[in-house]
Amino acid sequence: MKVFGLMSSNKEISGPMLRLDEPLSFWGGLDPETGQITDVHHPQVGSSVTGTVLAMEHGRGSSSSSSVVLELIRNKAGPVAIVLSEMDTHILLGSIVAEELYGLSMPVLITSKENLQNFHSGNVAHIDSEGNIKFIN
């Protein structure tokens, strides 16, 4: 996978996978204080993204998503990494500015649509600084 944004030091990132069945708009769809999905139209409403490796095809909707991602990272309520099959610059910018302002990292990783099929909620994902990923059931 291609890594955009800062990987935290040389350490491997790991966290339980949260594979979203549909794209999520961070603004209007997620509470940046709790990390909970609040979009009533989303099939995974009520799930928390905090500490997860969050995987979805692409982001969706509002231009405020960057700010919500930034606020989510500042609150330490964000995922440890976000994996997408299409780059979403709104999400990436939240991550870039979190580095600039707070030195906090939440990398955005890009993989193929086919690869994304291997991401299953509940598995634990380990990602090294090169973007290599291992899943443990």
Partner 1 sequence: MTLDLSSDDLEMLDGRDGAAVEMSMRIIVRLGETVKANRLIDISSAHIDSCLYHGLSTIDFADRLVQLGAQVKVPTTLNVSSMDLLHPDLYRGDPEEALRGRQLADLYESMGCKPTWTCAPYLLEERPNFGDQIVWAESNAIVFANSVLGARTDRYGDLIDICAAITGRTPDAGLHLDANRYASLVYEVGHLSPSLFDHDEIFPLLGAFIGSTTGTQVPVVDGLNHKQSEYRLRALGAAAASTGSVGMFHVVGSTPEAQTLDAALGDNAPQGLIKVSVEDLQMMRSKLTSSTGTALATIALGTPHYSIDEFAILRSHILGKHKHPEIDFYVSAGRDILLELELRGWADELRSFGVSLVGDTCTYFTPILSNTDKPAMTDSGKWAYYAPSNLGIDVIFASTADCVASAIAGRVVLDESIWTNEQ
Which is closer to partner 1, CB of 12 or CB of 31? 31
Number of residues that bind partner 1 (CB under 8 A): 40
Q: 19: which strand partners?
A: 55
Judged by CB under 8 A, the stretch of 7-15, 89-97, 111-119, 124-132 that binds partner 1 is 89-97
Instruction: Tell whether residue 124 is a contact of partner 1 (CB under 8 A).
Output: no
Site for partner 1 in 18-57 (CB under 8 A): 23, 27-29, 32-33, 38-41
